[in-house]
């Protein structure tokens, strides 16, 4: 679903537009036509639906170079391993989370709150997040280049222990990718 020339929604489940698996939160694609970054990865169940939406929106899969995570909850990071393999992209994640998602080991289910969320019934009992290699960690006040676009990081811990939001400025307008920072009606969910 194209929002602007440079921003698409390519995933989102029950709480969104039903574009992909019901457990997915929004997955965005930010693109200048030469390079594309996905922002968040969905829950990791039926991640091929996200890939199909990228293509349906006319985004050249060869331009998908980055996956940028707002935080490491399963419904935002769970599809990371699949998308990394699919696009051979680089994963960019908030500072100090590389070890939580470490490829070759199991995901740190305490740090990512996955164990508690599963116990609470948020995910099926069999649900696991496949670990993924993080190429770059970003801290507050950094810049991420996606083609000729620039995303600026702003650390906003609270909903998750390591939580980053990303600000994109295009043609004088600012867009925020907040990833659970704030919900409809101004609701904030702290873990
Ligand atoms: Zn979350």
For 23-47, give the DSSP string. T---EEEEE-SS-EEEE----SSST
Give the residue carrying structure tokens 């222990």. Answer: 161
Q: What is the mean pLDDT of residues 9-24?
A: 93
Q: Find the largest Cα–Cα distance for the chain.
A: 46
Q: Contact at 8 Å (CB) between 74 and 43?
A: yes
Question: Strand pairing of 36-39 and 64-68?
Answer: parallel
pLDDT value of position 190 = 84
Question: Which residues, in sequence order, are CB contacts of 137 under 8 Å at separation 6+?
Answer: 92, 93, 94, 95, 96, 97, 98
Q: Separation of 58 CA from ligand 1 center, angstroms?
A: 29
Q: Where are the chain's structural domains? A: 7-186
Give the fold, CATH level 3, of 7-186. Answer: Metallo-beta-lactamase; Chain A (3.60.15)
pLDDT value of position 105 = 85
Split at pLDDT 50, 70, 90, the class of 184 is confident
The Cβ of residue 144 has, within 10 Å, a number of other Cβ atoms equal to 18
What is the rounded distance in angstroms from the CA atom of residue 25 to the CA atom of residue 189? 14
pLDDT value of position 37 = 98
Q: Separation of 71 CA from ligand 1 center, angstroms?
A: 7
Give me the chain's average pLDDT, please: 95
- How confident is the model over 117-138, as pLDDT tens digits? 999 999 999 999 999 999 999 9
Q: What is the mean pLDDT of residues 47-55?
A: 98
Q: Separation of 74 CA from ligand 1 center, angstroms?
A: 8
Q: What is the mean pLDDT of residues 17-42?
A: 97
- How confident is the model over 104-115, as pLDDT tens digits? 789 999 999 999
Q: Separation of 185 CA from ligand 1 center, angstroms?
A: 17
pTM: 0.96
Give the residue carrying structure tokens 């295009």. Answer: 170
- First-last CA distance in the chain: 30
């Amino acid at each position: 679903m194209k929002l602007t020339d440079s921003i698409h929604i390519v995933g989102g489940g029950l709480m969104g537009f039903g574009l992909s698996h019901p457990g997915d939160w929004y997955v965005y694609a930010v693109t200048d036509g030469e390079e594309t970054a996905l922002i968040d990865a969905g829950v990791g169940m039926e991640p091929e639906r996200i890939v199909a939406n990228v293509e349906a929106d006319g985004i050249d899969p060869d331009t998908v170079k980055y996956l940028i995570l707002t935080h490491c909850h399963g419904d935002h990071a769970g599809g990371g391993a699949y998308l990394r393999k699919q696009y051979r992209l680089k994963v960019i994640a908030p500072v100090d989370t590389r070890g939580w998602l470490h490829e070759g080991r199991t995901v740190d289910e305490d740090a990512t709150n996955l164990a508690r969320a599963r116990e609470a019934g948020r995910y099926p009992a069999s649900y696991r997040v496949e670990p993924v290699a993080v190429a770059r960690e970003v801290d507050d006040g950094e810049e991420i280049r996606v083609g000729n676009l620039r995303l600026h990081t702003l650390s906003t811990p609270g909903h998750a222990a390591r939580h980053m939001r990303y600000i994109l400025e295009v043609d004088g307008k600012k867009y925020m990718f907040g990833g659970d920072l704030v919900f409809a009606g101004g609701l904030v969910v702290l873990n």
